[in-house]
Amino acid sequence: MFVLGAVATSLDFGLSRIAYPDAGPGLPAFTQIRIDGRFFTEYRFTDSFAANATVQYNQASEEIINQENLGFTRWQAYLGVRWFM
């Protein structure tokens, strides 16, 4: 979405349930819930030059399989510039 003709923003998010099948002795079937989101914004200084930023979040539910925790939480952030030719 453009705001005032100079700022572009977007927000995405998701929720998923992933099922893993039984993989043999000692590796039972299990499911994992995952959450993700992304926020993007860009400011255009001129028609050909802009600065942008992205922040992403990912999380997986904690599942203990063979004494290993498969859950995680991850944040990522990016800054950039763009030059339109």
User: What is residue 67's predicted lDDT score, i.e. its pLDDT?
Assistant: 79
Sole residue written with tokens 């572009």: 8
Confidence class for position 2, pLDDT limits 50, 70, 90 = low
Residue 68: is its pLDDT beyond 60?
yes
C-beta separation of 7 from 41 below 8 A: yes
| Burial class of residue 41, CB neighbours in 10 A (0-12, 13-18, 19+) | middle
> Tokens standing for 51?
């600065």
Q: Which two tokens stand for residue 23?
A: 């993989």
Q: For the chain, what are the domain ranges?
A: 2-83
Distances (CA, A) of 50 to 2, 4, 9, 39, 73: 13, 14, 13, 17, 30
What pTM did the predictor assign?
Answer: 0.77
